[in-house]
Each structure stands twice: as C-alpha cells, then as structure tokens.
C-alpha cells in the first residue's frame, strides 16, 4: 500500500503521473495530519480535507486512465471499494494538555479569576 | 432525578463536541448536598483578593480521571466571563481561538459541573491574544448549562492561587468551585446509590454508567468532645455550630493564607438537650 500525505513535497501533477502507471497499487492510504505546532489550530482544516478529497478524485481518475492505457480499451464500469478509517487520538492529546481552552495569567504569571464562555448569543 | 434521568442527560451531551472530554465517572448531587455547598459559598468572605485552592491530597480528591457532577436541581450561578470563542469555530466546532473581552458578570442555569484530568495547561497573558509557552498544572473545569449549548470553562489550580480580576470581586463560580472541591472530600459527604424506579432501571444504570452514585449529606453533625470554656450563664441546650471558613496560615514560615472549611459540630454541655431547631441552608 502506498501512502500519500497531504502537504508532502509532491505536486498534483507528479502524483497524477505516478498514479497513471498501470502497476501503481490500487490500495492507497491518504493521511491527513493536523499541524502539531503548539497553539495553532490543532484539528484538521477545511483546506486540508478539501485537499484530501481532491487527491481521492485524482487517484480514481488516474486509475481509470491507467487501466485504459494498460488494456487499450476504455473502461465502462467502475467499482471503488472504500474502507474508511478515521483514527483520532483526542484522549492521548487531552492528557498532554491539548484542551480547547486556556488559563489566563497576569504579567507576573499569576492565575486570574474568570471563565471562558463558548457562546455569546444566549444568556 | 433518578438514574434514567442522568443517563438521558449524558445521552443528550453525546451530540455535542465536548462529549469526548467528558469523564465516565458521574455523581448526582442531591438537593441537600447542593444547598449545603451553596451555603458554604455564601459563607465565604466577600472581599477576597485571591483564593488559594487546595491540593488534590488536601481534599482527598478521588477522581484522577475526572468526574461529572450532575445537579439534581439546576441552579443559577454567576460567572465572571473574560473570554469567548472567536466567531469562526473551526471545522468540527471546537474553537482553538479565544478573544479577551472586558470582564463581565453573567448568569448561567447550571445543570452540571465537570472536572477533567490534571494536566499542564497553556496560559495566556491578560490582554494578549496568543498563549505563552509557560504552562501550569491545572485541572480543567467545565460548567454545563441546562441548555447543553451553554458551556463555560475554567480551571482549578491545585495548591495554587487565583487572583481577583482588577476592579471586580471574586466570582461566585470560583467560590462555588472551591466549595464543591472542599465538600466532595469532607466527611459530611456520603456516596449513596441513586434512587431508581425499579429493577430495569437499576440494570440499565449498572450497564451504562456503573460508577453512578449520589452525593448526599450525612445525617447529623459530628460531636465535639471539647469542654466548654467558663461561662457567665450555664447553657440550657446543646447546639449545632454551623460550618464555617477559617483563614489558615500555611506555606514557608506560614506566610501564605488559605481558606479552610470547618464542618458543623455540636457544642454545649453534654447533659443538656440538643436545640433541634433546624438549620436552614439559604442559597
């Protein structure tokens, strides 16, 4: 199985050229990783998910063209078996301090009284 | 509220993005226990400049994996809100970006309180939009409203101080949290089975939420063996001294101060009848 990570140094054209080869594996694992930078958005971005869907579309189209190239006959039926696995590790991250809120301190690093309210519509 | 009601509330929460953060351990706070804790909050000095929170050991904290406290009767609680989510809430609804707002007191109809797992939490410096590299050991807390949309989060810094926000008094929610933390481990708190309608319900609870217990108040106050000091008039009754807070010196050379709760106890000559007028907890 080949693994393709969104954000790797591989352009869409390069990916397409590789995927169109008849011997390119049919099993493909797409991996999307959220940034691990402390303090940035730690979940997947819409852009990242869109990019992954785009890769799936490219992969399917490339396999159609690769099959055509290999058999010299235009394919007329397409079956795609997908095994979706969503692997998430919130609990592990949770223990490392990856909660969606923060403690507020003053300049002297003293913790300050006060809370964070998620919504501002309702009182 | 019975076991099925608690299960129903937890089921409803599963639809929300904070479901993954909820510990399995759940306790149902009875009305009496909640009133007692509210009375503890009401008895706290109003002019606190800071609160020194107890360490986990000091309050015999029994939930290293966190606990959900569901209140049998929802209660109104005032919070000091200092930040909100930014409008954009992220792909899965959990915002990682907050913005400070001028501190404002806001009420919440509180259904439950959640204590998370102690961890190093990032800090933000007041007035700054980004978090600092320094992190502090804290137990994250979450107040869930009667409407499960309504979420307020805070922190318990074990063995640490929380300072009042300039120009404001200590928030009721912080004082309530200190009372809850203190009361959970004190000897007047009993863990009893949750009332249930029948065998079917007991089985459901046992299967789906085996840890569920109810917090109730142990009957009667503890008896003090202490001799009374010399009195001008002999007492005709024994009486109940209500629970109260003391300021206790602690730390290096006793330079630090913290509030410590003293349970109610019975005082007066042992041969005299107990003045049984009921103590009414006002909340």
Interval B101-111 mean pLDDT: 94
Contacts of A111 in chain B (CB under 8 A): 123, 136, 138, 155, 157, 160-163
Interface A–B counts its CB contacts (< 8 A) at 168
| Cβ-Cβ contacts under 8 Å for B162 (sequence gap 6 or more) | A111, A112, A113, B50, B51, B53, B174
pLDDT, greater one: A66 or B204: B204
Q: Which residue has the higher pLDDT, A28 or B155?
A: B155
CA distance A43 to chain B (A): 8
Whether A118 has its CB under 8 Å from any CB of chain B: the answer is: yes
Using the predicted structure, report yes or no on whether residue A68 has a pLDDT greater than 80: yes
Confidence of residue B92 (pLDDT cuts 50, 70, 90): very low
Chain B CA closest to residue A99: B121
Q: Flag whether residue B150 sits within 8 Å of chain A, measured between CB atoms.
A: yes
Distance CA B108, CA B215 (A): 22
Under 8 Å between Cβ of B91 and A43: yes
Cα(B152)–Cα(B175) distance, rounded to whole angstroms?
15
Q: What angle do CA B267, B240, B35 make, to 5 degrees?
A: 150
Tell which wins on pLDDT, B279 or B226.
B279
Q: Is the interface score ipTM higher than 0.85?
A: no
Query: Does the pLDDT of residue A75 top 50, yes or no?
Result: yes
For B184, residues 6+ apart whose C-beta sits below 8 A from its C-beta are B59, B61, B62, B215
Cross-chain Cβ contact B131/A49 below 8 Å = no
Question: Which region holds residue B204: left if phi is over 0, alpha if psi is between -120 and 50, else beta?
Answer: alpha
Q: How far is CA A89 from CA A45, A50, B61, in A?
A: 16, 21, 27
Residue in chain A closest to B149 (alpha carbons) equals A119
Chain B neighbours among A 19-78 (CB < 8 Å)? 38-46, 49
Which member of A45, A91, A115 has the closest CB to residue B153?
A: A115
B213-261 residue pLDDT tens: 999 887 655 444 444 555 567 778 777 777 889 888 888 888 888 888 8
Chain B nearest-CA distance from A17, in A, is 32
* Closest chain A CA to residue B156: A103
B28, burial (CB in 10 Å: exposed 0-12, middle 13-18, buried 19+): buried
When pLDDT is averaged across residues A7-25 and rounded to a whole number, the result is 67
**Closest to A102 (Cβ–Cβ): which among B121, B143, B173?**
B121
* Closest-CA distance of chain A to residue B66, Å: 11
Considering only A88-97, B23-32, B196-205, which range has the smallest mean pLDDT?
A88-97
Taking the Cβ of residue B117 and every Cβ of chain A, the question of whether any pair is shorter than 8 Å is answered with yes
Cβ of residue A100 closer than 8 Å to a chain B Cβ: yes
Q: Do A114 and B81 touch (CB under 8 A)?
A: yes
Quote the minimal CA–CA distance from B79 to chain A in Å.
7
Contacts of A86 in chain B (CB under 8 A): none
Q: What is the pLDDT of residues B131-156, one digit of tens each?
A: 665 678 889 899 999 998 888 989 99
Q: Is residue B261 less than 8 Å (CB to CB) from chain A?
A: no
The answer to whether the Cβ–Cβ distance between B119 and A44 falls below 8 Å is: no
In sequence order, what are the residues at sequence separation of 6 or more whose Cβ sits closer than 8 angstroms to the Cβ of residue A79? none
Among A47-51, A91-95, B86-90, B116-120, which range has the highest average pLDDT?
A: B116-120
* Contact flag A100-B95 (C-beta cutoff 8 Å): yes
Contact (CB<8Å) B151/A113: no
CA distances from A88 to A43, A50, A85, B27, B54 (A): 10, 18, 10, 28, 34
Among B95, B161, B178, which would you mutate to test the A interface (most chain A Cβ atoms within 10 Å of its Cβ)? B95
Q: What is the pLDDT of residues B176-219, one digit of tens each?
A: 999 999 999 888 888 999 987 788 888 888 899 998 999 988 76
Cβ(B55)–Cβ(B158) under 8 Å?
Answer: yes
Tokens of B12: 């409803």
Q: What is the pLDDT of residue A38?
A: 40
Does A57 or B88 have the greater pLDDT score?
A57
Q: What is the bridge-based pairing of β-strands A115-117 and B67-85?
A: parallel
| Cβ separation B85–A119 shorter than 8 A | yes
In angstroms, the CA B83 to CA B69 distance is 24
């Amino acid at each position: 199985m080949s693994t393709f990570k969104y954000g790797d140094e591989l352009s869409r054209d390069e990916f397409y050229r590789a995927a169109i080869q008849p011997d390119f594996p049919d099993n493909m694992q797409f991996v999307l990783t959220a940034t691990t930078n402390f303090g940035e958005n730690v979940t997947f971005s819409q852009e990242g998910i869109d990019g992954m869907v785009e890769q799936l579309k490219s992969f399917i189209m490339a396999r159609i063209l690769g099959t055509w190239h290999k058999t010299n006959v235009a394919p007329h039926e397409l079956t795609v078996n997908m095994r979706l696995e969503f692997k998430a590790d919130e609990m592990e991250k949770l223990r490392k301090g990856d909660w969606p809120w923060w403690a507020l301190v003053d300049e002297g690093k003293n913790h300050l009284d006060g809370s964070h309210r998620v919504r501002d519509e309702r009182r | 509220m019975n076991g099925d009601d608690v299960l129903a509330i937890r089921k409803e929460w599963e639809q929300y993005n904070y479901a993954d953060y909820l510990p399995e351990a759940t306790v149902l706070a009875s009305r009496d226990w909640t009133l007692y804790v509210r009375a503890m909050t009401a008895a706290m000095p109003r002019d606190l400049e800071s609160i020194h929170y107890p360490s986990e050991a000091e309050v015999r904290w029994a939930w290293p994996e966190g606990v959900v406290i569901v209140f049998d009767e929802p209660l109104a609680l005032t919070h000091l809100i200092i930040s909100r989510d930014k409008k954009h809430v992220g792909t899965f609804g959990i915002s990682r970006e907050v913005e400070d707002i001028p501190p404002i007191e806001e009420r919440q109809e509180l259904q439950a309180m959640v204590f998370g797992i102690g961890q190093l939490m990032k800090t933000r410096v007041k007035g700054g939009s980004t978090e600092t590299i320094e992190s502090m050991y804290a137990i994250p807390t979450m107040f869930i409203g009667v409407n499960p949309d309504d979420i307020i989060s805070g922190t318990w810094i074990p063995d640490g101080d929380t300072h009042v926000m300039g120009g404001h008094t200590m928030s009721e929610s912080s004082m309530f949290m200190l009372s809850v933390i203190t009361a959970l481990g004190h000897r007047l708190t009993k863990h009893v089975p949750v009332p249930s309608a029948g065998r079917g319900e007991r089985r459901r609870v046992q299967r789906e939420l085996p840890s569920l217990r109810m917090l109730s108040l142990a009957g009667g106050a503890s008896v003090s063996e202490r001799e009374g000091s010399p009195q001008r008039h002999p007492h005709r009754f024994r009486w109940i001294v209500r629970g109260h807070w003391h300021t206790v010196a602690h730390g290096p050379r006793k330079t630090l101060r913290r509030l410590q709760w003293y349970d109610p106890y019975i005082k007066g000559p042992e041969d005299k009848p107990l003045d049984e007028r009921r103590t009414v907890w006002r909340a």
